[in-house]
Amino acid sequence: MAIANPQGTRISSYTPNETNYSAMAMVSTLFFMWGFCTVLNDVLIPHLQTIFALSYVQASLIQLAFFSSYFIFAQPAGKLVEVVGYQRSMVIGLITMGVGALLFIPAATTVTYALFLAAQVVLAAGVTVLQVAANPYVTILGPPETASSRLNLTQAFNTLGDTVAPWFGSILILGGTAAAVKHAAAVHGAELTRAQQAASVKLPYYVLAGILILLAVAIALYKFPRLEVTKDFRPGELGGGKGDSVWNHPHLYLGAIAIFIYVGAEVSIGSFLVKYLADPTIAGLSLEAGAKLVAFYWGGMMVGRFIGSALMQKISAPKLLVLSGVGAAVLVGCSLFGTGQFAEVTILAVGLFNSIMFPTIFTLAVAELGPLTGRGSGLVVQGIVGGAVIPVFMGYCADHYGIHRSLLLPFVCYFFIIFYGLRGYRISPSEPTSHLEAVPGS
């Protein structure tokens, strides 16, 4: 069929009957990169905590700086997608991330904590643009009924980046520092200076910046299908027109709250997991050994997303979300009230149940938004600021009540996820109806 855009030009539209796997494969590289950059913070936090003698609350400022960028830049990123399109937004996001990675070099050279935080803000601004552009793009690359399955599949590559990052960081950042300490003690009989400890950050972020810039060039040269679902239509056309608003869709803003709470719980656990495993009542591991075990937490998420993508062919996304919420709450509760290896294994296993939560909530939240998809995506991505807020509260709990008992906070968070899967995702009959319309183009 043909529909009219606000300028009066007639354009033909269609709903994809088949998934564009070539474009999905290319976009999956972006999911890998922002997952890698995000989880590298889990290694950076204990490293900087040692260098600057930070408390848990002070160390949580790293995640506060990173995830606050989602709240600040998500809506501008949504507008950017509307103006320049998905592909150019992806390129801009990657270049911004590359600049942020390079800012870690002067931060390490001057050993300035504030510069590390500033670098996090710039890096996360680029990640935000990628999230706003890539997540909804994947949902409209094929039939609507398989959107959750597609997004879970691409998010599996996101968690592949999550899984690789702790090993990369433990070897090049924590491992490099440990080797330098031994060398300094053997040759000079002295402790490593803060500048020497901070220097181990430089090489990983040099490499990261180079990869991000190369990927930006590859994305710019790739011929993506153009999907025009973010354009405004005249009021009354298809729903979701200029008379509509994202606030008319409760399933959307409840989804944004669910993302806020879920990401806060996920990041809180991941951020303090190295220190948690170092606790004598849990595993008593060194920071380097603990960082390597964090890979199992994120690896469980990767495996879970591949499994979840397949299960969603037979089980509805809301039901799977409820089951995952219950599983995560049970495991966190077991670790909270357990000790030793039992507490260690159960907290690492939470990643398996976290796996399908973000992509499933995201897909349910932006369903039936039509031309409001770009803005709705921006609102949902703003919810990722939970990764900035909730870890600060968990850090406060860890400082005052111990790292073990601080797990009570993420334990409570999972109950809202269960609610969203039971009722929150439902589209109210009073909501304006919209349809995802895709327009072919170059």
DSSP string, 363-432: HHHTTT-GGGHHHHHHHHHHGGGHHHHHHHHHHHHHHHH-TTGGGHHHHHHHHHHHHIIIIITPPPTTSP
Per-residue pLDDT reduced to its tens digit, 24-34: 888 989 999 98
Report yes or no on 435 lying in a domain: no
Which of 177, 175, 174 is closest to 195 using CA atoms? 177
Query: Residues 6 or more apart from 153 whose CB is under 8 A from it?
Result: 24, 305, 306, 309
Residue 257 belongs to a domain? yes
At how many degrees (to 10) do helices 21-52 and 202-221 cross?
160
**pLDDT tens-digit readout, 89-123:** 999 999 999 999 999 999 989 989 999 999 999 99
Count other Cβ atoms within 10 Å, centred on residue 195: 12
Is there a contact between 135 and 362 (Cβ–Cβ < 8 Å)? Answer: yes
Q: What's this model's pTM, rounded to 2 decimal places?
A: 0.71
- Name residues whose C-beta falls within 8 Å of residue 110's C-beta, 6 or more positions apart in sequence: none
Give the closest residue to 388 by CA, choosing from 130, 124, 132: 124
pLDDT digit string, tens, across residues 252-296: 989 999 999 999 999 899 888 988 999 998 988 887 788 788 888
Q: Establish if 106 belongs to a structural domain.
A: yes
Answer with the residue of higher pLDDT: 361 or 233: 361
361 belongs to a structural domain: yes
What are the φ and ψ backbone dihedral angles of 208, each rounded to 5 degrees?
-60, -45
Q: What pLDDT score does 4 carry?
A: 31
Phi and psi at 11, nearest 5°, equal -130, 145
Phi, psi of 402 (to 5 degrees): 100, 150
Beta strand spans in 66-161 (E): none
Asked, for residue 29, whether it belongs to a domain, the answer is: yes
Instruction: Quote the pLDDT of residue 226.
Output: 63
Whether 441 is in a domain gets the answer no
Provide the number of structural domains found in the chain: 1
Q: Which domain holds residue 332?
A: 2-424
Residues 387 and 207: their CA atoms lie apart, in Å, by 26
- pLDDT at position 217, please? 96
CA dist., res. 242 & res. 249, Å (int): 14
In tens, the pLDDT along 374-389 reads: 778 888 988 988 988 8
In eight-state DSSP terms, residue 222 is S
Structure tokens given for 294? 């964090």
CA distance 24 to 36: 18
430: in domain: no
CATH code, domain with 251: 1.20.1250.20
In a domain, 434, yes or no: no
Cβ count near 75 (within 10 Å): 16
DSSP letter string over 173-211?
A: IIHHHHHHHHHHHHHTSSPPPHHHHHGGGHHHHHHHHHH
